[in-house]
Amino acid sequence: MYDGIVQDLIDEFGRLPGIGPKSAQRIAFHILQTPTFDVARLSQLLGELRERVRFCEVCGNVSEQERCAICRDPRRDGTLICVVEDAKDVSAIERTREFRGLYHVLGGAISPIAGVGPDELRITQLMQRLADGTVQEVILATNPNLEGEATATYLSRLLHSLEIRVTRLASGLPVGGDLEYADEVTLGRAFEGRRSI
Amino acid sequence: MYDGIVQDLIDEFGRLPGIGPKSAQRIAFHILQTPTFDVARLSQLLGELRERVRFCEVCGNVSEQERCAICRDPRRDGTLICVVEDAKDVSAIERTREFRGLYHVLGGAISPIAGVGPDELRITQLMQRLADGTVQEVILATNPNLEGEATATYLSRLLHSLEIRVTRLASGLPVGGDLEYADEVTLGRAFEGRRSI
């Protein structure tokens, strides 16, 4: 639809997740027509991103150093490890400010359909972290879906032999949600997990 | 939430229209974790965008040359000019394949609230294009909202003295739309503009 680079840029933006052709066009024109938008900075950041970002050698979280900011922080509780599928999950949990332990990023979940088995995940590294006996609880915070549950079940069996408490995040009704609109599985889980008050 | 460059990139993406913090994070991680995504190309395109893109000296459409592809195309009908607010509107009209004339991009619409008067728009350039008598019809395709209507009214008065047919795009029910859900103004316009069949 457009001459050269404008269309090329729209096409490239359109390859990003959640950006359709119309949004891509809107973004390209915004960059073109907004003098205050620092396009040089965005270009530079994109150019440097993969060079500068590595993954924490301990937990697998994103980091610009060998160990991520959380693993380097001496105030974090080293007896607690929260196992998540993805580095994005670390950020989601950090926002709650509920958890002061460390993380372990698996890099995905077991999914026979997608061809992801336990060997594709950072499970060996998790077992190595647990070997010295410091960790007293492993919280399995994989997603509450088929793959996440399968991964949590696999890990809980694997950790069974160790003298470590293994927990799973609670499933139930979302806070602020409406019982009437909850799906059956979630509502069922909420009944199973009911607590005395 | 993240170390250095990842957060910087999320922040920059978050400044783009239609991209919230969650989408920005998703995009940054997609780029980081998808080896097949050509981040170098996106970075390069962004870096070159403003250098390479100029606006067509005739119609104001985006172009990498002095005159845009439409103005250069000898098959286009030079007796017809369609006046639009923005270069994005050119692309929207081109997709219909209904119009084979030329365009004139105003660069906005008259809006006293936003401080945009006729002098901020490419109206003088439009009048210059009409001066040699080649153009026989000017189609006012500004948006069917307050600012667009004000601009169309202003232009129609200005063009009244010239021997040129001035038309406005039809307002009415959107094709595939549902009469029941049409707003009153649109439905009113559809009645006003009703045609014999």
**For range A145-158, the mean pLDDT:** 93
Number of CB pairs, chain A paired with chain B, less than 8 A apart: 139
pTM above 0.80, yes or no: no
Euclidean distance between CA atoms B116 and A88, whole angstroms: 43
Tell me which chain A residues have a C-beta less than 8 angstroms from the C-beta of B91. 1-2, 25
> Per-residue pLDDT tens for B34-86?
888 899 999 999 999 988 998 999 999 999 999 999 999 999 999 999 999 99
DSSP 8-state secondary structure symbol assigned to residue B170: P
DSSP 8-state secondary structure symbol assigned to residue B86: S
Q: Which residue has the tokens 């010239």?
A: B162
Is the pLDDT at A73 greater than 80, yes or no? yes
Please give the mean pLDDT across all residues of chain B. Answer: 90
Is the pLDDT at A104 greater than 90, yes or no? yes
Reported as a pLDDT band with limits 50, 70 and 90, residue B194 is confident
**Percent of chain A having pLDDT more than 70?**
99
Is the pLDDT at B139 greater than 80, yes or no? yes
Tokens of B191: 């009645």
Please give the mean pLDDT across all residues of chain A. Answer: 90
Q: Which residue has the tokens 């004339």?
A: B101
**For range A58-76, the mean pLDDT:** 94
Q: Do B49 and A6 touch (CB under 8 A)?
A: yes
Instruction: State the pLDDT at residue B174.
Output: 84
Instruction: State the pLDDT at residue A82.
Output: 95
> Per-residue pLDDT tens for A21-34?
899 999 999 998 88
Euclidean distance between CA atoms B13 and B28, whole angstroms: 8
Instruction: State the pLDDT at residue B14.
Output: 93
Reported as a pLDDT band with limits 50, 70 and 90, residue B19 is very high
Q: Left (φ > 0), alpha (ψ -120 to 50) or beta: where does A108 sit?
A: left
Which of B46, B18, B42, B27 lies closest to A39, judged by CA? B46
Residue among A1, A2, A26 whose CB faces B17 most closely = A26
Euclidean distance between CA atoms A149 and A109, whole angstroms: 9
Is the pLDDT at B110 greater than 90, yes or no? yes
- Which alpha helices (H) appear in B53-131, and where do they start and end? 69-72, 87-96, 123-130
Is the pLDDT at A80 greater than 90, yes or no? yes
Residue among A18, A29, A46 whose CB faces B46 most closely = A46
Instruction: State the pLDDT at residue A170.
Output: 85
Is the pLDDT at B91 greater than 80, yes or no? yes
Residue among A23, A49, A69 whose CB faces B31 most closely = A49
Instruction: State the pLDDT at residue A101.
Output: 95
DSSP 8-state secondary structure symbol assigned to residue B116: B
Q: Do B53 and A88 touch (CB under 8 A)?
A: no
> Per-residue pLDDT tens for A6-22?
999 999 999 999 999 89
Instruction: State the pLDDT at residue A102.
Output: 97
Q: Do A47 and B25 touch (CB under 8 A)?
A: no
C-beta neighbour count of A94 within 10 angstroms? 15
**For range A175-196, the mean pLDDT:** 80
Is the pLDDT at B33 greater than 80, yes or no? yes
Q: Do B45 and A8 touch (CB under 8 A)?
A: yes
**Percent of chain B having pLDDT more than 70?**
99
Instruction: State the pLDDT at residue A42.
Output: 93
* Cα dihedral sign, B119-B121-B125-B129: negative
- Which alpha helices (H) appear in chain A, and where do they start and end? 4-14, 21-33, 39-52, 69-72, 87-96, 123-130, 146-159, 184-192
**For range B145-160, the mean pLDDT:** 93
Q: Do A3 and B88 touch (CB under 8 A)?
A: no
